[in-house]
Amino acid sequence: MTRLERYNVKVRILRLASLECTGPPVDLASMFGISERSVKRIVREIRNEGKSIRYCHFKRSYVIDKDL
């Protein structure tokens, strides 16, 4: 995956997380054509960049914590 492709995946994950409609990591992986592990790695990178993203089991989606 190139840097541009990785950046685009990050942007799309953040957009979907803000709408609370990412689905579980396995769904994101199939949507982007990457592994589930890669999705989790990219989400960790997003967190390391200062975004407060987490997985909500109730909503079955990644969500952005707005109060943090």
Domain 3-64 has CATH 1.10.150.120: no
pLDDT digits (tens, 9 = 90+) for 29-41: 999 999 999 999 9
This prediction has a pTM of 0.91
pLDDT digits (tens, 9 = 90+) for 40-49: 999 999 999 9
CA distance 18 to 3: 23
- CB atoms under 10 Å from CB of 23, counted, come to 15
pLDDT digits (tens, 9 = 90+) for 10-30: 999 999 999 999 999 999 999
Domain boundaries, the chain: 3-64
